[in-house]
Structure 1
Amino acid sequence: MTHATPSMTGDRPAARFATLTFQRDIQAPPSVVWQAWSDPVARAVWAAPTPEVTVEFLEADTRVGGREISLCKVEGQPTIRCENGWLVLQSPELSVSSEVISCEDRIQSAALVTAEIRPSDAGSRLEVTVQLSSLSEDMEGGYRQGFGAGLDNLVGTAERTMILQRRIEAPVAAVWGAWVNPETLPQWWGPDGFTCRTDRIDLRSGGEWVFDMIGPDGTVFPNHHLYREITPRQRLSYALLWGENGPKHADAWARFEEVDGATLVTLGMVFNTGAEFQDAKGFGAIELGHQTLAKLEAFIARP
């Protein structure tokens, strides 16, 4: 770590510089850690360093050139604004971003944040390097505490995150259209042998889908999706509830990326607890999820 000696220019302190490094071992493969690190839904789960802190996301666009703006709030204290700009995104191993922290319209710090994800015996090793410039006060201690606690949260988030991906040989417009059309979504949603019975469906930001999944043996599984964000032809996010207005069991998202004329679909879910994640794995949620995406592909390919 390097740390420059402070100096003064007029009544304003010159920048103080420090290089901070954080390492975490995570029991999840790099592809899952990458999603937990970079996707806005997962970042919203782990961003608050302590329960006393509330983080409100105003904007989240995880693309090169995109930005993420959030407000960090603690009762009785001024609101902190964080603006993150994505400079490099090389899935699943490297990201570089800029970060500017301000409070009451005064910039407090600027930083360059580099995250590297490598396979390890435990699953993955995440190393984050922060090249920090403190502008209005020395921010090193706050960064060590806040970033460290946030990354501890990230470890737990990644270890209860499920990621499913499928390349579908169809343009993004066709895949997106089959997903967000209230007539077509219930026709393919669910694993092999399952059907959907819809009570109501409103596929927009702030909308919902209340439905039953009916298994091959007639067993009924009540579901309720609450849609938070729908960005046309790019992504959607939603909460998964056990039945109408029931308890939430996961935060989920779907992303749609064009790859050589085909569409890479990423379906992610952060379960509320590690136990719920293990239960879902135990009843075959990964295999059933892949069946669902295969049904989507078959539906789009129909003449």
Structure 2
Amino acid sequence: MTQENATYKYEMKNDGSELVITRIINAPRELVFQVWTTPEHLAEWWGPTGMKLTVESLDVRPGGSFHYSMKSPEGFEMFGKFVYHEVAAPETLSYVSSFADAEANVIRAPFSPIFPMEIMNHLTFTEEDGKTILTMRGGPINATEEELNFFASMKGSMEEGFGGTFKQLDEYLTKITA
């Protein structure tokens, strides 16, 4: 599958170079899509374990963005940004994610000068027996060879990090559906 617009071309690869995470979530697809696209829900679960998320702005539509801050218990703060490319509720959500500053300008990752500036993420939500199968595929766009190699070397850490985020999602959905 290839997605194109004026600023990027991203081809989904089947060679193992992209990050692919599939989760079965014990909640209906419409609810899972809603918690990915509503500020009050995102603030409760999105981001690394232990970080407090603040939604700075959210406009879920093609061309819209999600700007957020994350603060650690020690006071370290960083920002992120999604720019949405495809929104087809409740089946599909595609966005470019980046680290950002307080004004939503894209910046380098605080932990590495060679982490890619932009990651294209494509999420599909499929419902089966009242549960949602969420598949997230992502990989760098507009990246140098050095950035691509660094991204590939970080796959294990990213899988672990998203594992914590998805655990928070599971716990949050359990809380709001109980």
- TM beyond 0.5: yes
Pairing partner for 1:46 from 5, 8, 11: 11
Pairing partner for 2:105 from 225, 237, 245: 245
SS of the equivalent of 1:288 reads helix
Scaled by the length of structure 1, what TM-score is found? 0.47
Instruction: Identify the residue that residue 280 of structure 1 maps to in structure 2.
Output: 154
Instruction: Identify the residue that residue 207 of structure 1 maps to in structure 2.
Output: 64
Report the RMSD for the aligned CA atoms in angstroms.
2.3
- Report the alpha carbon displacement of residue 172 of structure 1 after superposing the two structures with TM: 0.7
Letter in 2 for 1:259: E
- Partners of 1:197 and 1:212 within 8 A in 2: yes
Structure 2 unaligned regions, length at least 5: 108-116
SS of the equivalent of 1:184 reads helix
After superposition, where does 1:101-116 map in structure 2 within 5 Å? none
Equivalenced residue count is: 155
SS of the equivalent of 1:256 reads strand
> 2:72, 2:121 → 1: CA distance?
22
Q: Percent identity?
A: 25
Instruction: Identify the residue that residue 35 of structure 2 maps to in structure 1.
Output: 178
SS of the equivalent of 1:183 reads helix
Greater strand percent: which structure? 1
SS of the equivalent of 2:75 reads coil
SS of the equivalent of 1:197 reads strand
SS of the equivalent of 1:275 reads helix
- Report the alpha carbon displacement of residue 249 of structure 1 after superposing the two structures with TM: 2.4
Instruction: Identify the residue that residue 297 of structure 1 maps to in structure 2.
Output: 170
- Report the alpha carbon displacement of residue 159 of structure 1 after superposing the two structures with TM: 4.2
> 1:275, 1:213 → 2: CA distance?
27
> 1:175, 1:231 → 2: CA distance?
13
Instruction: Identify the residue that residue 51 of structure 2 maps to in structure 1.
Output: 194
Offset from partner CA, 1:46-105 (integer Å, 9 cap, x none): 39xxxxxxxxxxxxxxxxxxxxxxxxxxxxxxxxxxxxxxxxxxxxxxxxxxxxxxxxxx
Offset from partner CA, 1:179-202 (integer Å, 9 cap, x none): 111221121101221221222111
- Report the alpha carbon displacement of residue 39 of structure 1 after superposing the two structures with TM: 7.2
- Partners of 1:159 and 1:274 within 8 A in 2: no
- Partners of 1:209 and 1:225 within 8 A in 2: yes
Q: Residues 197, 279 of structure 1: CA spacing in aligned structure 2 closer, same or farther, 3 A cutoff?
A: farther
Q: Residues 168, 39 of structure 1: CA spacing in aligned structure 2 closer, same or farther, 3 A cutoff?
A: farther
Q: Residues 186, 280 of structure 1: CA spacing in aligned structure 2 closer, same or farther, 3 A cutoff?
A: farther
- Report the alpha carbon displacement of residue 299 of structure 1 after superposing the two structures with TM: 0.9
Q: Which has the larger radius of gyration?
A: 1
After superposition, where does 1:91-170 map in structure 2 within 5 Å? 154=13, 158-170=15-27
Letter in 2 for 1:245: N
Q: Which has the higher contact order (CA 8 A, sep 6+)?
A: 2
Q: Residues 46, 268 of structure 1: CA spacing in aligned structure 2 closer, same or farther, 3 A cutoff?
A: closer
- Report the alpha carbon displacement of residue 281 of structure 1 after superposing the two structures with TM: 3.1
Offset from partner CA, 1:126-170 (integer Å, 9 cap, x none): xxxxxxxxxxxxxxxxxxxxxxxxxxxx57xx4431011110111
